[in-house]
Structure formats: C-alpha cells, structure tokens
Amino acid sequence: MPEQSLYERLGGTYGIAGAVDVLVDRLFANAAVNANPAVHEHHGVAANAPGYKFLVTAWSIEAAGGPKCYIGDDMIKAHDDLAIDRAGFDAVFTEIDATLNFLGVPDAERQEFMDIIESYRGQVVQAA
C-alpha cells in the first residue's frame, strides 16, 4: 500500500483547519510574535482572524501535499512589508511546533511539517 501523504496523515482538511484554528488564536496572543509592530498591526486585530485562518489553512493543505486551493500571495510577497527578523521567525516556528504538540500530532508528522516551515525561512525573514 502506498504511503499516505502528509495531508492525509494530518487528518485532511478537517484536521488541518482544526489545528490552524487553535494556532492562529495562539499566534494573535503571543507577545514575542507581536513584538514586531508591523506584525502586531495585523495580528492585534481580532477581525483579521477568520480570513487569516482561511489563508493559512489553504496554504498548509497545499504544502502538505493536499489539493491545490491556496489563493493568497507567495511567501515573499506576503511578508514583504513586515521586516521579520530571525527572532520573529523563531517565535512563530516555536508556536507552530508547540501547537502541533499540544494537539497530539504524532512526532513524525510534526517533524515533517516543521521541516516544511523551516524551508520557507529564507523567504519570510527579510530583515537582518
């Protein structure tokens, strides 16, 4: 039997949307993530949460090998005006990892997803 995609092993659209629902609430409340004023301008507004959850869910579905459904900007353009530095990226990386752990995602799937996140560091970090 062929190995299931990461998308399938994460529980498909329902599993990923459920995880992003929890993740985005935690990111919006995370002081280290919001220390960047440009990030806080977005993440400090509760009304941004539903649309952001939609975009991050679709991005994650595609990144994990699920169906094509992401309509947002690429990762360079999406983070162009935010001056995200290494510490800012690490704060988000740590929150994603902690959330997947909190939700009981198995180690192998968590590691595989975190490797995907890490592979975008160079596109997201645009400040020294």
> Should residue 113 be labelled a site residue for ligand HEM when binding is judged by CB under 6 A?
no
The site string for ligand HEM over 47-76 (x = CB under 6 A, - otherwise) reads --------xx--x------------xx---
Output DSSP code: residue 104: T
Looking at residue 115, its amino acid is: D
Q: At what angle do helices 12-29 and 86-102 cross, to 10 degrees?
A: 130
Nearer to ligand HEM, 7 or 89 (CB): 89
> Should residue 83 be labelled a site residue for ligand HEM when binding is judged by CB under 6 A?
no
The site string for ligand HEM over 93-112 (x = CB under 6 A, - otherwise) reads --------------------
Structure tokens at 3: 């190995």
Q: Which residues contact 105 (CB under 8 A, 6 or more apart)?
A: 10, 19, 113
